[in-house]
Amino acid sequence: MMPSTSSTPRIIAFGCDHAGFLLQQQLIAKAKSHGFDVIDCGTTDQASVDYPDFAERVVDKILQHQAEKGVLICGTGIGMNIAANRHRGIRAACCYDVNQTVIARQHNDINVMCLGSRISDEAIAFDCLMAFFQTDFDGGRHQKRLDKIDNNVA
């Protein structure tokens, strides 16, 4: 499935734990080379850290309108996904291939993409990253469903 054309977000917040550090560094370099402004929310090396701390940093950048979208990376993406989705206004999804990423944008209007460094190699992760940036939300019946979610979150 090919992503729809979108105006590319200009500011992307990245965050990772120790397991995602190397993949994050690779993706940040590629994002910058494609003209994105990047906010690096850490971590700064492969020393063991707690992923919720870095998910919180990225979420804060989005909720404070300092970044348009976020990318979170841990070993599987699952922990980051759980941590990010605890916040109203954040719609995060684990994205392991381009088709999944496109559908998550089109149908769920995700604003945070979670990647697993132990699941996806750099090439797949980069393809997902570009699909995340370039795919628009379809709206319509999907907006109605997101509204229901927003109304049920305390």
* Token code pair at residue 83: 């941590």
DSSP state of 88: T
Catalytic-labelled residue, pool 18, 34, 107, 142: 107
CA 31, 35, 36, 37 torsion-angle sign: positive
**Active-site annotation holds for 107:** yes
Run of H or E residues at 149: helix 141-152
Run of H or E residues at 78: helix 78-84
Q: Kindly write down the DSSP assignment for every residue of 13-67, as one continuous string.
A: EEEE-GGGHHHHHHHHHHHHHTT-EEEE----SSS---HHHHHHHHHHHHHTTS-
CA 152 to chain centre: 23
Catalytic residues: 107
